[in-house]
Amino acid sequence: MNKKVKVQDLGHKDYKETWDYQETLFKDIVDLKVKNRREGADVDTPNHFLFVEHPHVYTLGKSGDMDNLLVDEQVLKTKGATFYKINRGGDITYHGPGQVVGYPILDLDNFFTDIHKYLRFLEEMVILTLAEYGLKAERSEGETGVWLDVGTPFARKICAMGVRASRWVTMHGFALNVNTDLGYFDLMIPCGIKDKAVTSLNVELGKKEVDMEEVRQKLLNHFVTLFNAELVKEKTEA
C-alpha cells in the first residue's frame, strides 16, 4: 500500500481547468488499478492532494436542485462568477478567493476502503485545524461538512464538502472559508440547507485576514496523522 501523497498548490486557477486536471489524475489511477487487476500486477497507485484558490464559481452536485441557485447566470456574470453542474455528491456550493480548497485524489485501497470513514476523516482534519485557532468546530448530524454552534439558533457552516469515488479512488473534496467574501453565499441556498448561516475563519477570529498558507500547513499536518500518510511536495502544475 502506497502511503505517499503528492501535494501540489495550484495557486489561483480556473475551476474548469482544475476539474479537468483532477479528472486526468483520477483516470490515471483508475486505469492503473484496472491494468493491475487484468494483468495480475501489483504496481503502486499514486495519491494526490491538490490545493487551489478559485475565481468566483458556483457548482451543483449531481443530486442538487437548481432552485438552490437564487439568481440566473446573467446575474452571476455581473458578479464575475461562473456556474457548473459537476459529478460530485452534494448540492450547490460556492468557491472563491479567500477559500482554502482541497482536492484529495486518493486510492483508498492504500489507506482504508470506507467512504463514510473517509468523509469523517476529512471533517476531523478541519475540526482539528480550527481547534488550533481556538474554535470549537463540530459535525452536524445528517449534514456533511464542518459547523460552529451546532444545535443552536446560531449554527453556521465554515467548511463544505462533496466527493466522488469510483473503484475506491476519490476526487473533489472540501472548501474551508478563511478570508472569504460571504456576500457571495447570499446568491444561493448553501448545500441546499435553508435557514443556516455561513461563516469564515477571519470573521470568527475578528481579523481582517488570516494567513492562508498557515491554514494549509495545519490541514496537511492533521491529514498526515489521520491517514498515516507521507507527503511529497510537487511543483505547481503550469
Is residue 175 a contact partner of residue 167, using CB atoms and an 8 Å limit?
no
Considering only residues 61 and 154, tell me which one the structure prediction assigns the higher pLDDT: 154
Is residue 169 a contact partner of residue 107, using CB atoms and an 8 Å limit?
yes
Q: Is residue 110, in this structure, part of any structural domain at all? A: yes
pLDDT at 101 (0 to 100): 98
Which residue numbers are catalytic? Answer: 191
Q: Is residue 38, in this structure, part of any structural domain at all? A: yes
**126 C-beta neighbours (distance < 10 Å), count:** 24
- 39: containing domain: 4-233
pLDDT at 192 (0 to 100): 53
Binding-site residues for substrate, in ranges, read: 88-95, 160-162, 173-175
pLDDT at 238 (0 to 100): 44
pLDDT digits (tens, 9 = 90+) for 116-157: 999 999 999 999 999 999 999 999 988 889 999 999 999 999
pLDDT at 194 (0 to 100): 58
CA atoms in the 13 A half-sphere facing the CB of 23: 9
Across 85-99, average pLDDT: 86
pLDDT at 64 (0 to 100): 77
Look at the chain and report how many structural domains it folds into: 1
pLDDT digits (tens, 9 = 90+) for 188-212: 876 555 567 899 999 999 999 999 9
pTM: 0.92
Residue 193: which CATH number? 3.30.930.10
Q: Is residue 59, in this structure, part of any structural domain at all? A: yes
Give the torsion through C-alpha atoms of 28, 29, 33, 35, to 10 deg. 20
Binding-site residues, in ranges, read: 88-95, 160-162, 173-175
Considering only residues 84 and 109, tell me which one the structure prediction assigns the higher pLDDT: 109
Q: Is residue 200, in this structure, part of any structural domain at all? A: yes
Q: Is residue 238, in this structure, part of any structural domain at all? A: no
Residues 6+ apart with CB under 8 A from 8: 48, 49, 50, 51, 234, 235, 236, 237
Q: Is residue 171, in this structure, part of any structural domain at all? A: yes
C-alpha 59 chain-centroid distance: 12
Is residue 158 a contact partner of residue 130, using CB atoms and an 8 Å limit?
yes
Q: Is residue 128, in this structure, part of any structural domain at all? A: yes
Considering only residues 133 and 183, tell me which one the structure prediction assigns the higher pLDDT: 133
Q: Is residue 217, in this structure, part of any structural domain at all? A: yes
pLDDT at 191 (0 to 100): 54
